[in-house]
């Protein structure tokens, strides 16, 4: 299976824990219930970047993306792109995704996505439930975000991993370089996130949005201007970490959407959003044992951290 063009709809206010298939049919009446059922069965429905099934409960503020199976499948060619494999067995593969790499093909992408690389590395040993444009893909990272991402090689692993992510049965930890130093060493941000009321391509803290929780802790500070923050997310809203950190006045360094505009201190520059998916924990989808995956920081992150230490000094808060 593959998908035609992707459709994206926003879940309006007033919807609270309603089945995904009912929500999608109400928002897209041009698609019959039978057609939508086939789309769900093909694993081609996503909520805020994570695959969901028809029974998943939907609330206002989310963004549903779906791709109806195409009549003529599109063939993707494997591309020999180096991958930093963290873990691999017969059912799953995890890699440290490089910054700048798109997770899967879509409008405007080339043949340099993670999917192209996985097809070369794994051959036919990737689950096809998600469609030929997203073989094995059960969650996504933003293009500029580096770090741990896991894909399913077997169909049984795909179904279980999709359920884990949809039901928040994963443990996600991130590292971010941010502007400023929070007054407290740690805290929790529990603010709902929804579509920005004016700039519709952005997300924002919105009282009509969906509940979101981010725990944070300072790892290191650099003078008075920068901090290294460890984050754990308990929900998976679109751009959650970026929105929450900007909301408390400490946006991620280099973030072009939610960050500081044109702000530079002593020529400190970041070419991308300095966010890294450091750890991902979950139960093995087939063997039912704990899995903890860790991804080393990429070179650009290490270089900027070293520059901050050199210019401003580094004070560990761990």
Q: Mean pLDDT over residues 145-150, rounded?
A: 97
Q: What are the tens digits of pLDDT across the range 165-192?
A: 888 899 999 999 999 999 999 999 999 9
Active-site pick, 142, 171, 225, 300:
142
Beta strands in the chain, from DSSP E residues, in sequence order:
7-10, 18-19, 45-47, 50-51, 57-58, 63-66, 85-88, 92-97, 146-152, 171-179, 186-190, 193-195, 203-205, 213-222, 226-233, 275-283, 290-294, 314-316
Q: Which fold has domain 7-66?
A: 3.10.290
What does the pLDDT look like over 247-289, one tens digit per residue?
999 999 999 899 876 555 656 778 899 999 999 999 999 999 9
118: Cβ contacts below 8 Å, ≥ 6 apart: 83, 93, 95, 126, 135, 136, 151
| Chain position carrying tokens 């009509």 | 208
Give me the pLDDT at residue 262, please: 55
Which of 85-89, 121-125, 283-287 is the least confident region?
Answer: 121-125
Whether residue 46 is predicted with pLDDT greater than 50 in this model: the reply is: yes
Tell me which architecture the domain covering 85-166 has in CATH. 2-Layer Sandwich (3.30)
CATH 3.10.290.10 domain residues, the chain:
7-66
- Catalytic residue list contains 142: yes
Model-level pTM? 0.79
Within the chain, all domains assigned CATH 3.30.2350.10 are found at 85-166, 171-316
pLDDT tops 90 at residue 108? no
Domain covering 171-316 in this structure, CATH number: 3.30.2350.10
- Collapse the DSSP code of 277 into the 3-class scheme (helix H, G, I; strand E, B; otherwise coil) and give the result: strand
């Amino acid at each position: 299976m593959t998908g035609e063009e992707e459709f994206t709809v926003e879940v309006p206010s007033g919807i609270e824990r309603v089945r995904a298939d009912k929500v999608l049919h109400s928002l897209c009446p041009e698609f019959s219930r039978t057609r939508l059922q086939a789309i769900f069965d093909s694993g081609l429905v996503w909520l805020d970047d994570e695959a969901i099934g028809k029974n998943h409960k939907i609330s206002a503020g989310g963004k549903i993306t779906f791709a109806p199976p195409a009549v003529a499948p599109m063939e993707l060619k494997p591309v020999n792109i180096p991958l930093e494999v963290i873990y691999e067995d017969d059912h799953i593969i995890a890699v440290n995704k490089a910054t700048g790499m798109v997770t899967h093909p879509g409008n405007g992408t080339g043949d340099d996505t993670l999917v192209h690389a996985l097809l070369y590395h794994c051959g036919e040993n990737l689950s096809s439930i998600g469609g030929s444009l997203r073989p094995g893909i059960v969650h996504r990272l933003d293009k500029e975000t580096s770090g741990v991402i896991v894909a399913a090689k077997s169909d049984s692993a795909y179904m279980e991993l999709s359920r884990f992510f949809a039901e928040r049965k994963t443990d996600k930890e991130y590292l971010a370089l941010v502007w400023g130093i929070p007054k407290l060493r740690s805290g929790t941000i529990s603010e709902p996130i929804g579509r920005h009321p004016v700039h519709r391509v952005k997300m924002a803290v919105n009282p009509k949005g969906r509940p979101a929780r981010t725990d944070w802790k300072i790892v290191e500070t650099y003078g008075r201007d920068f901090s290294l923050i460890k984050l754990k997310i308990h929900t998976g809203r679109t751009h959650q970490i970026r929105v929450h950190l900007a909301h408390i006045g400490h946006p991620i360094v280099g973030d072009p959407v939610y960050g500081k505009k044109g702000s530079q201190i002593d020529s400190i520059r970041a070419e991308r959003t300095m966010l890294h998916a450091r750890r991902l924990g979950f139960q093995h989808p087939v063997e039912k044992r704990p899995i903890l995956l860790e991804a080393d920081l990429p070179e650009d992150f290490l270089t900027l951290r070293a520059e901050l230490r050199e210019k401003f000094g580094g004070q560990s808060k761990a």
